[in-house]
């Protein structure tokens, strides 16, 4: 799969990016993606929490995929760790 940078899309102006992740095709709904946590925590603003439970809103994160700026493995994640699409 292609190496991509995953950008968290939020209106707070902060840049949230996971760099150099490999995209892997997976049977899921069009427009949906999956990622491992806690690695993907960086995509979620700390103040984005559920009203009742006060837990991070990790199931409703809008992301944008762009070709990776550098074609190398993420330094803290094994190369085999995929982003499921």
Q: Using 50, 70 and 90 to split pLDDT, how confident is the model at 43?
A: very high
Q: How far is CA 73 from CA 1, 26, 62, 80, in A?
A: 12, 20, 23, 9
Residue 66 confidence (pLDDT) above 90 = yes
Instruction: Average the pLDDT over 1-27 and give the result.
Output: 92
**77 vs 2, more confident:** 2
Domain that holds residue 23: 1-85
**How sure is the predictor about 77, in pLDDT bands with cuts at 50, 70 and 90?**
very low
Structure tokens at 51: 């009203």
pTM of whole model > 0.75? no
Higher pLDDT, 56 or 32: 32
Residue 62 CA to residue 72 CA, distance in Å, equals 24
pLDDT at 78 over 70: no
pLDDT of residue 73: 52
| Number of domains observed in the structure of the chain | 1
Confidence band of 63 (pLDDT split at 50, 70, 90): very high
């Amino acid at each position: 799969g292609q190496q991509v940078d995953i950008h968290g899309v939020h209106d707070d102006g902060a840049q949230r990016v996971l760099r150099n992740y490999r995209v892997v095709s997976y049977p899921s709904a069009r427009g949906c993606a999956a990622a491992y946590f806690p690695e993907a925590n960086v995509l979620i603003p700390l103040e984005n929490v559920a009203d009742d439970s006060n837990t991070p809103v990790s199931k409703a994160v809008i992301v944008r995929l762009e070709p990776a700026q550098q074609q190398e493995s993420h330094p803290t994640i094994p190369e085999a760790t995929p982003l499921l699409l």
